[in-house]
Chain A
Amino acid sequence: MGKLATITRRTLLVGSAAVAGGVVFGVYKAKAPIKNPLLDSLQPGEAAITPYVKIDASGITLITPRADKGQGSYSLQAHLLAEELDVDPHGVNLSPGMPDPAYYNAKVMSEGLPFAATDDSKLARSARDMGGTMAKMMGMQMTGGSSTVPDSYEKLRHAGAVARETLKQAAAQRSGISRSELNTKNGRVLFPDGNSIAYTELAAAAAQLDPVRDVALRDQSEWRLLGKNMLRTDIVAKSTGTEIYGIDLVMQNMLYASVRSNPGLGGKRLNYDAGRARAMRGVKKIVETRHGIGVIADNTWRAFRAVNAIDVDWGKPDYPASSKETWDVLANSFVDEHRNSRLKDLGDVEQAQKDSKVIEAEYRVPYLAHAPLEPMNAVVLVGDERLDIWTGTQIPGFIQDHAAKLTGINNDNVFVHVQPMGGSFGHRLEFSYAMQAIEVAMGVKGTPVKMTWTREEDMAQDFPRPAQIARGKGTVQAGQLESVDLAIACDSISVSWFGRLMGMGVPGPDLLIVAGAWDQPFDIPNYRVSGYRAPVNRPISSWRSVGASGNGFFHASFLDELMHAAGADPLQELIRLCNHDVSRKVLQAVGDLCNWQGTQIGKNRGRGIAYTLSFGVPVAEVIDVTNTPSGIRIDKVYVALDVGKIIDPVNFEAQVSGGALFGLAHAMNCELTYENYQPQQTNYHTYQGMRLHQAPEVMIRGLENAEQIRGVGEPGVPPAAPALANAIFAATGQRIRELPMSRHIRFA
């Protein structure tokens, strides 16, 4: 990761218009095999046949480098490896491994390009390949963008197969029986005579061999595990309180800390008075950090109490202090000077709208917190020339880089131990909490310190999903959509995040400003989507489904308004306009699932539909609501989608259902509003989300028509809010164009 900055300064073009810079490295380097990081730390008798499989006499360890935030990635990676390795994923050890370039994510960058997921042209394909090559060059180890399955699907099965065949080769050498006559089952090599030998007994011999690389992946018809209902490897621990999250770690002599930083992100800490805190029971030390102040104590609660007892003056950061000012910047950004992209421009929108009745609408979505239930925390032990950090993170390599920079400790001596996470939703693509934990631990070198944010600090220090405004102008003719002109103003997540991560900006347009809107597969005769980068400059970040989280609402809501004005049935009109076979079948499937007969489903009731393609996954959602005396009740959610191949039907359903309900929860009642730089929502009492009594039944139909396999953690989110808004319109006649909807309507 150390070379990252130099490489990316010249060539990083994620979200920009070209990937040409990638060639400066030469193909030779991009094609060079990657060093297996497990080899460095092997003990005698241990074998690391691939970067993903480690075996010694005592057991088998599968390395699952994509972080588990709750989406089930550890279990899924283990099953992919186990399918070819022929082991029981519940009978082996799992480890996320240490950050290493070998664990780069080829898909996370290959999708951040100005080609719609439905674009199968040669140019689009080669650009995606180049994106993967750049990720390899940079050693981009990251979990995000719903990329774990697409990135791992072949890679991990291949790793499992290589390990299996190499173990068979070791058994062949030992027995004199040819490898082709050997079989494998449940962690053992089987000989033709019925005898067998455990992989663990072959580890030492396998370690001496060159891995057998010419392996073929098994046909789906031979799968034991994949495609069938799986039992998550962590499910017993998570049902008995025995799962150990980062916040649960305990070490010998460990101290406890908490930090408060400037609620104006990036602003300075000025004067402070820690007199009261210093005198409180259990307080060991007050430590200044770059942006705040930390307390080290002998107990988390005592650290919380003490850090909140410090009076601090905060400096002002250089962006708007209030939500009102933010909205003004956004509203004033729809001008040529700020135009950032116009990637969709079909027909002639202006000509089409010249002499027609133009339907106009403006939409708004608010800042949102990630607010995973486990607040950010990290355990840090700083030695003289070594640093260990135990924390839940999606970006372990970047934490390693920044920790090295912060402490001056050599990169190779910074060890990041990734922990299971109590949620993320994008929060753990950031690293300020980890740096604060290190700053505090440097105050007590040689003693491990667990730094935990209070919930209030977690809300205040979150890098939120940005607020956005969209303006739509459209026309209809003869019962059909004739023109759609959608303009979206938003600040750049890419610029903000890469700026923090790598200390650099990003050239070219930011696709996240228009993702989920510009790339939708509809043949509207005159169709234009423009992105405007609003220079708000409040630090912002990725939130589950990222750009599509707001743009899906804009696009699907506006299409619904126009279809209503045209007098068209929204499902039939979406199917008619759709130019993507896989998506059309998804729309038809959701219609079948809900027995679609229009949006009117009874007195005080209404049905809405929305479609969004995000992360390559077409998703259609239908929502039924009832307008009850105590407010809107969400009765039922129907979802149809296509990820190409469903690896685990149980977790697939969990992610789709969870995604849709996550989208609904925030659409109902969540927002961050700012005064004096601080979010006014400080805890869950003002950031409610959804509770059990509000959760509808969710019916799901997963199709497998798409050619490419895709991830499912995020795509269920974007269509939920517009489907709900469209359903409420059908039930009440009230069009809600601003989130959260609780600003305009009551929920039961």
Chain B
Amino acid sequence: MKLKVNNVDYDLDVEAEMPLLWVLRDELDIKGPKYGCGIAQCGACTVHIDGQAVRSCSYPVGAVQGAVTTIEGLGTPDALHAVQEAWIEHQVAQCGYCQPGQIMAAAALLAQQVAPSDDDIDNAISNLCRCATYPRIRAAIKTAAAKLQGAA
């Protein structure tokens, strides 16, 4: 089975029904996407498939048609994505475990809507944060939107 993750091509021998999350984490050692619930409820596993945010814990690897991007492919400590910059500026993370998923969900939103309203943010970001960092998540999304607009 072929899979493209963060611009690298992989050839895999796994069950088609194995969720993409576990292929990433245990087969490819890409640990940014997290396991939180396994039933697409919390969003800690959020990655992009062709730019769309998907919950990889409930997405069979055999169903993946496009290129997968994880948070590692979004940006790195030395080359941050605008969303990650905003996340650092606002010091959003507490335990940080949900944040890769939050950041991927926010990046997908901003790729489609350059200036989301509060309602747009409410509708698009349903990821769970048990530390309840939500006020800073909202502020960081707005900062990132401004950055991306400025850059455009």
Interface residues of A (CB under 8 A from B): 69-72, 231-232, 234-245, 247-248, 250, 256, 281, 299-301, 304, 371-375, 421-425, 452, 454-455, 650-651, 654-655, 657-658, 661-662, 665, 683-685, 689-693, 695, 697-698
Q: What's the nearest-Cβ distance from chain A to residue B41, in Å?
A: 4
Residue of A nearest to B25 (CB): A300
Q: Return the contact of A235 from the options B71, B91, B97 (Cβ within 8 A).
A: B91
Among A236, A689, A692, A698, chain B packs the most CB atoms within 10 A around the CB of A692
Question: Do A299 and B27 have beta carbons less than 8 Å apart?
Answer: yes
List B contacts of A235 (CB < 8 A). 88, 91, 93
Question: Do A71 and B94 have beta carbons less than 8 Å apart?
Answer: yes
Q: What's the nearest-Cβ distance from chain B to residue A42, in Å?
A: 32
Q: Return the contact of B36 from the options A243, A421, A455 (Cβ within 8 A).
A: A455
**Besides A241-B103, A373-B128, A423-B131, 14 new A-B residue pairs in contact (Cβ under 8 A), listed by A number:** A234-B93, A235-B88, A239-B84, A240-B75, A241-B70, A242-B76, A300-B26, A371-B130, A373-B42, A375-B36, A425-B130, A657-B135, A662-B130, A692-B127
Of residues 76 through 112 on chain B, the ones whose CB sits less than 8 Å from some CB of chain A are: 76-77, 80, 84, 87-88, 91-100, 103
Residue of A nearest to B29 (CB): A250
List A contacts of B51 (CB < 8 A). none
- Is B68's CB within 8 Å of the partner chain A? no
List B contacts of A231 (CB < 8 A). 91
List A contacts of B32 (CB < 8 A). 240-242
Q: What's the nearest-Cβ distance from chain A to residue B108, in Å?
A: 15
Residue of A nearest to B26 (CB): A299
Question: Do B96 and A238 have beta carbons less than 8 Å apart?
Answer: yes
Residue of A nearest to B139 (CB): A697
Q: Return the contact of B95 from the options A373, A452, A692 (Cβ within 8 A).
A: A373
Cα–Cα, bound, A658→B58 (Å): 29
Q: What's the nearest-Cβ distance from chain B to residue A694, in Å?
A: 8
- Is B5's CB within 8 Å of the partner chain A? no
Cα–Cα, bound, A299→B35 (Å): 13
Residue of B nearest to A452 (CB): B35
Total of A-B residue pairs, C-beta within 8 Å: 174
List B contacts of A238 (CB < 8 A). 93, 96, 99
Q: What's the nearest-Cβ distance from chain A to residue B109, in Å?
A: 11
> For the complex, would chain B's binding face be called helix, strand, loop or mixed by DSSP majority?
loop
Question: Do A695 and B70 have beta carbons less than 8 Å apart?
Answer: no
Question: Do B41 and A695 have beta carbons less than 8 Å apart?
Answer: no
Question: Do B131 and A70 have beta carbons less than 8 Å apart?
Answer: yes
> Closest 3 A-B residue pairs measured CB to CB?
A70-B95, A241-B32, A422-B97
When A300-B35, A301-B18, A665-B132 are in contact, do A692 and B99 touch as well, CB less than 8 Å? no
Question: Do B35 and A247 have beta carbons less than 8 Å apart?
Answer: yes
Question: Do B126 and A454 have beta carbons less than 8 Å apart?
Answer: no
Residue of B nearest to A244 (CB): B31
**What are 18 pairs between A and B in contact, CB < 8 Å?**
A70-B93, A71-B94, A235-B93, A239-B80, A241-B70, A250-B31, A299-B26, A301-B26, A372-B95, A373-B128, A373-B129, A374-B36, A375-B36, A421-B95, A423-B97, A689-B130, A690-B132, A695-B138
Cα–Cα, bound, A235→B84 (Å): 10
Cα–Cα, bound, A463→B123 (Å): 34
Q: Return the contact of A300 from the options B22, B76, B96 (Cβ within 8 A).
A: B22
Question: Do B26 and A256 have beta carbons less than 8 Å apart?
Answer: yes
Cα–Cα, bound, A437→B132 (Å): 30
Q: Return the contact of A239 from the options B29, B31, B38, B99 (Cβ within 8 A).
A: B99
Cα–Cα, bound, A412→B33 (Å): 36
Question: Do B80 and A374 have beta carbons less than 8 Å apart?
Answer: no
Question: Do B96 and A234 have beta carbons less than 8 Å apart?
Answer: yes
Residue of A nearest to B75 (CB): A240
List A contacts of B42 (CB < 8 A). 373, 684
Cα–Cα, bound, A232→B89 (Å): 11
Question: Do A661 and B26 have beta carbons less than 8 Å apart?
Answer: no
Cα–Cα, bound, A78→B70 (Å): 31
Question: Do B138 and A70 have beta carbons less than 8 Å apart?
Answer: no
List A contacts of B87 (CB < 8 A). 239
